[in-house]
Structure 1
Amino acid sequence: MTDAPLRPAARIALAASWLAILAIAGWFIAQHLHLSGDLRRFMPAPRTAEQKLLIDELGEGPGSRLLLAALSGADEETLASQSRALRAALADDKRFTFVANGEGGLESFPDRLRPYRYLLSRTLDTERLDTDYLADQVQSRVADLGSPAAAMIEPLVPSDPTLETLALAESWAPGTAPHRVHGVWFDRGGGQALLAIQTRAPGFDPAGQADAVGAINAAYAEARGDAPGRLSMTGPGAFSVEISGRTEREARWIGFIDTIGLLLLLFVAYRNWKIPVLGALPLASAGLAGLGAVALLFRDVHGITIAFGFTLIGVVQDYPIHFFSHQRTGVQPYASVRALWPALATGVASTCIAYATFFVSGVDGLEQLAVFTIVGLATAALSTRFLLPALVDPDLRDPATSQWLERLRAWVARLPQPRAAVFGLALAAAAVAALAPGPFWQNDLSRLTPVPPDALAQDAQLRQELGAPDVRYVIALTGRDVEDALQRSERLAAGLEGARAKGWLAGFEHPAQFLPSQRTQRERQARLPEPEALRKSLDVAVKASPFRDSAVFAPFLADVEAARHARVLQPKDLEGTPLQVRLDALLLRRDGHATALVSLIGLAAPDQVAAIAERAGGQLVDLKAASESLVAAYRQRVLWALGLAALLLIAAVRIALRSWPRTWRVLAPMAVTTLVILAVLRALGVELTLFHLVALILAAGLGLDYALFFEHAGDDRHEQVRTLHAVLVCSAMTLLVFALLGLSSIPVLRAIGATVTLGVVGNFVLGLLIARHPHKEVA
């Protein structure tokens, strides 16, 4: 590029071409972008057995997939009718593995598996299909056929006179079911009809959970019709959808206010309507380049990468602002940007070095974030350096001619630069941050949830009513293979039955409940009577009943004979059935081993249950403790990365400025501001999270940018005025964005917004006090 300015028509053509390239790039990236919602991408590789189990359980376990629904706002009969209609609408929906409301449950038992019912059921563990047992069962069926349940039972009797199918369906029902009203589940007060719904989508799939919640809402709207009533849902999936919706709504209004505010700010700062449009081009280029790089280098892009990435590259808006503020009449735009380039390039290189350390974190999500940010920063800087000057009118108004800016500069010039006092401030801030009462770090992820307390209370109440699995505790049994794991879960189940009898827990669910071990199936198979013996016992049992002729039970005899010679069931035999997903959620198969999970309901005595688990070769895992240890490990790796970044940053600035005093003036404001931010947060009782660390990195990048340009201005009065103008505009824009984030109801957004807001103020003030040079009057 030459320094000769382009004609207006050429500038318009170049701007149009730039916009066209951005539009084409945006369309192309959108076609090839694969978004991911798996939050495990932002977690470090688990190292302990408990952490590994946490990652699997949170994503795939029954607790993460379970939605609890409550219908209210109408009389019991209406609610029961709505419950039945909702269950019927969802029963065949492939997005759900089971929908339970106290009715039926036979859909979990496919026809091809029904001959296996005596191998799956526990009946033969305590009973035999002899004359006495069959006679008792036949008499019970006679009574059933005269009851209101006759319509449901009559089709089953010829093939299943012992109702083993219903017994299995009952054992597969979730937890300890509540009482029934009009044939469906209700809470104890009778004001809510209850349903337990398990999604096929894992807990770490926000899009899948949102789709499931939407399907339930749509089905309920149709089931309710014009009748009164309302639906409420709780559970991890429902909460994630609520959080996503609230985040989207807040982001929308924050983005709207930010956009209007930034446009007005740029217009007021430069009195030129073109500036807001031109300033957006490097920012748009940065975002698309970063997004394209991540899409190219990674199989899919996490939504958090995009959200955080656009926030973190917000610093690139400073690059064109510095250029606009230093452009003046009589100086060609390329000459202006060349003069700024050393400071600008130093800031970009230093910030990129800081984010490059994320590559050693071992966390896929942070590596994506690093690629997004580094490519975005580099693109914005290069486009500001080589493309933007060609679009700028060489006759921009010089901020150095502003009287109010000159008065402000003169006032700033009179400010003392008490560097010893700043050192004292750093020591005091460090002392406050270290000695403030209360925990320094927040490891409990649940404390970060924006879910209202009343919603959490409702979730706890519904879980108690429905006997849903505990989301904190799970027992893990690791075996050599699937068979070993299933046998271990069977042995443990016997001990847990005793614990349930003692009131130590209300219930439990284990994989052998859905697929007994092959050993147990063979033992039950061996107890099935020979055909002739079974026929004789059935004849005797039927003669004393109204059935009279045992021929009606021919399907039953055929099923028992098929079960006697059947190959025992294995996990692959359940593929394509609802039982497969139930089993997969509780049986984790890995290379070289398998882990059986036992979910617990109403755990009241963790220590006693833990002892039972240990005797069976298992372990009671506290997923809350495992999550806290994982967060601590994550934070430690990020802190090591930041420590490395700090060393590289010092080296980069020292090489660029070639002087230790100049390096100190640039880095000191950023370092002291970081300590001040930590002191303020700790003094306010804030426990720091990983999101505060991310925000501190962003604030440090802003501080480095401010200090570099204050130092770059030197002692030239006019350059100091232009730099003051640029940094004021940059600070005001950043302050507007992050102050609004600080008002968010979302804890993560609030943490980032408050931290960066403190950082903007601290870096601006300390940059003036430390990094600026005393001005030298010139003629």
Structure 2
Amino acid sequence: MTRARLALLLAAAAAAMAAFVFPRLDFGTDVSNFLPAGQGGDEALVSRMLRESELARSMIVSVGAPDEATAAAAGRALADALRGHPALASLRSGPDPELPRQVYELYFPRRFLFLSDEPEREIPRLLSEESLRAEARRLRAELALPASTLLAEVVPADPLGGFRRLLERLVGAQNSVRVVDGQFVAGEGGRHAILFLATKAPGFDTAAQRPFLADLRAAFERVDAAHGGALELEASGVNRYVVAGEARARGDALWIAGISFVGVGGILYLALRSGTSLVLTLLPGVFGLLAAATVGTLAYGRLDGITLAFGTTLLGLTIDYPIHLLNHHAMSPAHEGARAVARRLAPSLGLAAGTTMASYAGLAFTTIPGFRQIAFFSVTGVAATFAFTLLALPVFLRGARPLPPGSRRFAGLLGGAVLALEPHRALLAATAVALALASAAALPAMRWQDELAALSAPDPALVDEDARVRGRVSPFDAGRFAVAVADTPDAAVALNDRVHAALEGCVARGELGGIRSLHDLLWSADLQRRNWEALVAQGDVAGRVERAFAAEGFRPEAFAPFRAALEAGPPAPLRLADVRGSELGALVAPLAFELGDRTAAVTLLRGIRDVEAVERALGEIPGVRLFDQEGFVTGIYREFRDATVRQLGLGGLLVFAVLLARYRRVRAALASFLPSTVVALSMLGAFAALGIPLNLLHAMSLTLVTGQGSDYGIFVVDSSDRARDFRATMLSLTLSCFTTIFAYGALAISQEPALRAIGLVTGIGILACLVLSPLSFLLLARRAPAPEGQA
């Protein structure tokens, strides 16, 4: 194929990929992508809760004002501006006027099903003559009050006070807000209007959340302007963290890409002094990035912002391949064409690309979707860049392109410097071994930091604002709760009954300050049935009530509705679907939700004083656990970090096995492999000696360092017999090293701790691999490379 036709074909392919990828680019970072996925167990639970539950869709909006009346007016105005917004599934700014009717219709016919948590023990006591007469006296006192009209209508059908106690539980289940002129207010002096929102889209859907948050801000600014700029908007919600993270990732990607391109391009232009050579050097990496983005988008639907930011560094990593081809071509004999050079380099480039892909491919065997996506993107990009370098790039190289004199002299100096070390080969090798042994001795002092904050630190201002808003509304700890998961809604409600009983015991013993539970709103069908059975088991219940109340001055015939209700038989039990379909659904939503094909019931906790006691109480109930978000995720990452460290060792053995199979000589395989291994051990030892804690990303980055370092060893070993190739290799390694440092070093400016960790370790590690790369030659060489005339 002619160069013109190939250029046209590649341009068309690149344009098609760009047209497909660019409209679909989404720089959002979904934190749940970096939580382990699984078919069951705790890993699946946390991932689904973060992705699917009402907790991920909810927002609390707080409008601060100088006084209570202004806050209430501003809250109503903002609610009116937002009501009907297409992104909102629900909005509550005050009590629903239909709520009392819905509560009455749902619960009053079932008032005898909600008498007691322990019906077999408490209902007989409730129906004792002493208890009945005490209830009668209480009712007589309340009926004497001016506001007793509603009570007078209810008492004939409910002399036991079942509906009253049920209402008391419902009031207790409400958040700590008050109502002023129909608007929820909270905080000191009621100076904060409160709105409860739920979006249709999950909190991690930045495409939906970003415009909604902008609309919320715009609506508030209009309300604020109408009140003379005296208002303050604060909010709490997962979506705010996600959208802020997307903005950081978008900015990171642009800065990182810009610095990488400018740095890499500047170094190459300084070395090659040719705009054409610069373009040809960058072309394979750009094509590889487009290919990786296209295939990745097809495979995953969308690429995470972390993947895109990390992916931009591939340009610096894979630029080794065209650099080697251009330099070896430029320093080759005049009669050797570009295709011949490519064929000669193919084994070395193929082995280097293979070890690099193996370094990334190890991430694909983790249970964390985000790491698997990074692995897929990276392996695809490396493979595409390698293929472009070998198959397409030689077509665009005509004849030998001589290196600029300065670069040629620099190559000679590098080769000469390495050769000058040959008499001291044994001393240098012993020094490297001693360094490795000293580093290994320091390893027991390593400290690991597994907290999620080490990987992804949210904006502290957002965290503080979130805490302030939640503190005004609810005293419960948003990061700790009890969760019961069952196969059906009925089973989850039944399990929650047991959770409530266990936690009430903790409260009674002072181990826990308080709870808010689904149990305040709904009991299991079995418990409701037991209430009815315990009630009718007491014999003539209506007669006992009539006699006891008559003794306190009531007319017995007034309780005919009570007798009729008992004679009518038990009503149908109240179920979760009934409550969800009513105006009480908003109260139930954060306490019971679907997780795939299962149902979870959540109990919020306040003032945990004895964590171990609470865990013991819940541990006796199958399917229930105390969920500590921070501790749970930290534990997951600790396990994964351990697995990554083990994988680093196993991956090293695999790379050495590949090198041994390729060279069929232990000495050559060791020469290629040992320098990168010494670098990895030295970096771990240095971190340990300096007391710097390491995290998961440091361990991951070391896998990349060892992969890239082994590439350097491969090229040194494969070019050690010919002076021209050796000089070209040393120049290529130097250029590759500094372009890679620019690519990965740019990650150090990221606002994401994860990317900063990768930038620090890979930048220092790659430079150390270059410094130790001559060790490969010194371990291998039995003689100096053949002079140029004998090459």
TM-score range, shorter chain: 0.7 to 0.9
| Pair 360,740 (structure 1): closer, same or farther in 2 beyond 3 Å | closer
CA distance in 2, matches of 1:299, 1:219: 33
Question: What's the offset of the Cα at 1:677?
Answer: 2.0
Distance apart, 1:301 and its partner CA: 5.2
1:757 aligned to 2:760?
Answer: no
* Equivalent-residue separation in structure 1 for 2:763 and 2:313 (angstroms): 13
In 1, are the aligned partners of 2:716 and 2:776 still within 8 Å (CA)?
no
Paired AA for residue 761 in structure 1: L
CA 1:582–1:725 in structure 2 vs 1: closer, same or farther (change >3 Å)? farther
Whether contact under 8 Å (1:51, 1:626) holds in the other structure is no
* Seq. identity, %: 26
Contact 2:525 2:573 in 1 (8 A): yes
Of the candidates 104, 112, 117, which is equivalent to residue 95 of structure 2? 104
Q: Distance in 1 between matches of 2:648 and 2:380?
A: 19
The equivalent of 1:473 in structure 2 is 480
Quote the Cα distance in structure 2 between the aligned partners of 1:81 and 1:596.
36
Could you state the TM-score of these two structures normalised by the residue count of structure 1?
Answer: 0.79
1:516-555 equivalences in 2 (<5 Å): 516-519=523-526
Residue 174 of structure 2 aligns to which amino acid in structure 1? A
Change (3 A) 1:32 1:449: closer
Structure 2 counterpart of 1:402: 408
Q: Are 1:632 and 2:624 an aligned pair?
A: no
1:709 pairs with one of 709, 715, 722: 715
Structure 1: give runs of 5+ residues left out of the alignment.
146-159, 537-543, 545-555
Tell me whether 290-299 or 673-682 shows the greater mean CA deviation.
290-299
TM-superposition CA deviations, 1:116-148 (whole Å, max 9, x none)? 143688986699999999988888785999xxx
AA partner of residue 687 (structure 1) = P
- The amino acid that maps onto 2:274 is N
Q: CA RMSD in A?
A: 4.7
2 CA distance for matches of 1:120 and 1:312? 65
Consecutive unaligned residues of structure 2, counting only runs of 5 or more, are 117-122, 151-157, 537-541, 547-553, 555-560
Q: CA deviation at 1:379?
A: 1.6
Give the letter aligned to residue 683 of structure 2.
Answer: I
Q: Pairwise mapping of residues 72-471 of structure 1 onto structure 2 (< 5 A)? A: 72=64, 77-90=69-82, 92-93=84-85, 95-96=87-88, 99=91, 103-105=94-96, 109=99, 115-118=105-108, 142=147, 170-174=171-175, 177=176, 184-188=184-188, 193-195=193-195, 197-199=197-199, 201-202=201-202, 205=205, 210=210, 213-226=213-226, 227-297=229-299, 302-312=304-314, 314-328=316-330, 330=334, 331-398=336-403, 402-415=408-421, 416-417=424-425, 418-432=428-442, 434-436=443-445, 439=447, 441-453=448-460, 455-467=462-474, 469-471=476-478
Distance 1:408 1:254, change over 3 A: same
Distance 1:492 1:407 in 2: 75
- Contact 1:33 1:301 survives alignment (8 Å): yes
Equivalences, count: 734
Match of 1:597 in 2: 602
Match of 2:519 in 1: 512
Change (3 A) 1:313 1:395: closer
- 1:344 deviation in Å? 0.5
Shift of 1:91: 5.1
Residues 427 and 466 (structure 1 numbering): CA distance in 2 closer, same or farther, change over 3 Å? same
Relative to structure 1, is the Cα distance of residues 352 and 453 closer, same or farther in structure 2, using a 3 angstrom cutoff? closer
Tell me, in whole angstroms, the C-alpha distance in 2 between the residues paired with 1:601 and 1:91.
32
CA offsets, 1:369-413, max 9 Å, x none? 333333322221111111111123435232577334434443443
Is the contact made by 1:79 and 1:193 (CA closer than 8 Å) also made in structure 2? Answer: yes
The TM-score, its normalising length taken from structure 2, stands at: 0.78
CA positional deviation for 1:757: 0.7
Matched residue of 1:402: which SS? Answer: helix
**CA separation of 1:119/1:625 partners in 2, compared to 1, >3 Å: closer, same or farther?**
farther
Distance 1:111 1:657, change over 3 A: farther
Counterpart AA for 1:464: G
Partners of 1:143 and 1:461 in 2: CA distance: 39
Write the distance in 2 (CA, Å) between the matches of 1:511 and 1:625. 24
User: Match of 1:396, SS?
Assistant: coil
Partner Cα separation in structure 2 for residue 599 and residue 649 of structure 1: 50
- In 2, are the aligned partners of 1:464 and 1:602 still within 8 Å (CA)? no
CA distance in 2, matches of 1:66, 1:295: 29
How far did 1:653 drift? 1.5
- How big is each residue's C-alpha offset from its partner over 1:252-291, in whole Å with a ceiling of 9 and x where there is no partner? 2232233223333322221111233333332233223333
Q: Aligned letter for 1:737?
A: A
Distance in 2 of aligned mates of 1:173 and 1:43: 32
Q: Secondary structure at the match of 1:225?
A: helix
Q: Which amino acid aligns with 1:597?
A: V
Is the 1:50–1:623 contact (alpha carbons within 8 Å) kept by the matching residues of 2? no
Are 1:669 and 1:771, in contact at CA under 8 Å, matched by a contact in 2?
no
Distance 2:655 2:523 in 1: 60
Counterpart AA for 2:352: G
Shift of 1:340: 1.7
Q: Deviations over 1:299-332 (max 9, x none)?
A: 7655544444444575222211221222228342
> What is aligned with 2:119?
none
Aligned partners of 1:62 and 1:469 also within 8 Å: no
SS at match of 2:694: coil
Q: Which residue of 2 aligns with 1:548?
A: none
Q: Secondary structure at the match of 1:598?
A: strand
Tell me whether 1:719 sits opposite 2:725 in the alignment.
yes
1:578-657 mapped onto 2 (5 Å cutoff): 583=588, 585-587=590-592, 595-610=600-615, 612-613=617-618, 619-657=625-663
Q: Distance in 2 between matches of 1:473 and 1:364?
A: 25
CA separation in 1, counterparts of 2:722 and 2:52?
63
- The answer to whether the 8 A contact 1:37-1:205 is kept is no
Say if 1:591 and 1:241 are closer, same or farther in 2 by CA, change over 3 A: closer
Query: Are the equivalent residues in 2 in contact too, given 1:285–1:379 (CA < 8 A)?
Result: yes
**Stretch moving more, 325-334 or 295-304:** 295-304
Q: In 2 relative to 1, CA 505–61 (structure 1 residues): closer, same or farther, beyond 3 Å?
A: farther
